[in-house]
Amino acid sequence: EVQLLESGGGLVQPGGSLRLSCAASGFTFRHFAMSWVRQAPGKGLEWVATISGSDGRIYYTDSVKGRFTIFRDNSEDTVYLQMSSLRAEDTAVYFCAKRGDPNHCSGPTCYFDYWGQGTLLTVSS
């Protein structure tokens, strides 16, 4: 059974930093790209970042470029999101998501076949 378990959320002051983690199990982690998707309170879903399985390709949404870094440890089956220069508008639940069947993807973009339960980041003074 695929499981994705996020952790690391919390309350951070504007301009601060935080690292989120997502521990994966139930599949061959290094074979799949992983993403972070966020949801601001009462709002819809917004893709944030994606990292490929093992060849280092990384993509970000424009609003987090230069502030967020996605990376992974395939020996620990964990993907991370290092966030810095945090802003109030980064406040959201952050979900970890596994990329779907590569045969049905389109280049760097794909659907997500499994999602975690999310971890809440609040940026406030």
Partner 1 sequence: DIQMTQSPSSLSASVGDRVTITCRASQDINNYLAWVQQKPGKGPKSLIYAASTLQSGVPSRFSGSGSGTDFTLTISSLQPEDFATYYCQQYHSHPQTFGRGTKVEI
User: Whole-angstrom Cα distance, residue 121 to residue 110?
Assistant: 25
Q: State the minimum distance, in angstroms, from the CB of residue 101 to partner 1.
A: 7
Q: Tokens 């659907």 belong to which residue?
A: 111
Site track for partner 1 across 33-72, x = CB under 8 A? -----------xxxx-----------x-xx----------
CA angle 70–120–111, rounded 5-degree value: 55
Nearer to partner 1, 66 or 125 (CB): 66
The answer to the question of residue 29 lying near partner 1 (CB under 8 A) is no
Residues that bind partner 1 in the complex, under the rule CB under 8 A: 4, 44-47, 59, 61-62, 95, 97, 100-101, 104-118
